[in-house]
Amino acid sequence: MIMPLSGDPPRSRCLSIALVIIVLVLALAPFLFGGAKPLNVTAKICIFIALAASYDLLLGYTGVVSFAHTMFYGIGSYGIAIAMYGLGPRWGAAAVGLTVALPLAAALALVIGLFSLRVQTIFFAMITLAVASAFAVLASQLSWLTGGEDGRSFSVPEVLRPGFRVDVLGLNITGRMLTYYLVFACCAALFLLLLRIVNSPFGRVLQAIRENPFRAEALGFRTVIHRILANCIAAAAAAAAGALNALWLRYTGPDTSLSFSIMLDILLIVVIGGMGTMYGAIVGATLYVLAQNYLQALMGWVSTAAGEAGLPLVPSLFHPDRWLLWLGILFIASVYFFPAGIVGKLRGSR
């Protein structure tokens, strides 16, 4: 299905198998896993796939380093939350939130791009960091609108509430399951749209600008205009991912939508998966989110098993409190052994 839509096949048997397994597991997650945590993890993977893919459009395909991506993510998240909090749990309110948030994110990206994408890349990165920090402070201060540090909780339409249940062909369909499939479908559509964009003539120009902006300029391409358009598209996609995250959580706040740690997560996912591959967003987001949620529990199991076996040092080395240390080690190892990212390595090995 991907090939006709994008013209960009995985180009590796191992990568194709990995992508098929990941997509099937995500598509069947409500039926494969019991309990709330696995479904929360798979929903987060879907959202971060779309979010990382939108950032890869900037970093991997255009060569632009931005630290404002969580700001656009937060705009989408707050847009949905504020609209549904103020107008009530209706689909019309969600539409109003999206109608305001997506153009606002694109317009803000346009303004930032017009004023700063003419300068060197490092200065653009610093400008975006300053703007994102100012936006986070503003969101915390406007408590009458955003809920301040406490954030904003809201209700969703009845069909998406956990208590909603309907029997379809013998299957018990819940509101939480319907919300998950709404998130899954929208994230899949976002990813395929971004994949189509990077494999279009516009995407080819972005890659030419990344490789040699002076040569692209000499060939007649307006490099600044293309970079600004890429920034606007990435911003709108990030805002859409933020809206889906808010809809899934039924809450938004500084920690869930504007935290700088989210920006670091996106950057790590793109680097681990492979910059400029787009498929790296799927592999990277899956591995990273799984490590975030289950590495500590896995280390606890290893530490306990090693202690019962009487192995020296191992229980202390794999103590669950050291999971962040091991996550960092795994990241360093992935960069060392897969400098082009996991997808780049798999494509190279065929």
- pLDDT tens digits, residue range 303-326? 888 888 877 788 888 888 888 888
Q: Residue 5 has what pLDDT?
A: 56
Q: Which two tokens stand for residue 225?
A: 């205009």
CATH classification of the domain holding 57: 1.10.3470
Q: Residue 3 has what pLDDT?
A: 47
Average confidence (pLDDT) over 131-150: 90
- Which of 43-47, 121-125, 272-276 has the weakest average pLDDT? 121-125
Number of domains the chain contains: 1
Q: What is the enclosing helix (H) or strand (E) of 165?
A: strand 165-168
Q: Which domain holds residue 75?
A: 2-349
Average confidence (pLDDT) over 85-91: 91
CA angle, corner 239, sides to 236 and 245, nearest 5?
Answer: 150
Structural contact between residues 44 and 211, judged by C-beta atoms closer than 8 angstroms: no
Q: What is the enclosing helix (H) or strand (E) of 124?
A: helix 121-141
Q: Residue 4 has what pLDDT?
A: 46
**Interatomic CA distance for residues 298 and 275, integer angstroms:** 28
Beta bridge partners of 252: 152
**324 burial level (CB within 10 Å; 0-12, 13-18, 19+):** exposed
Average confidence (pLDDT) over 38-66: 94
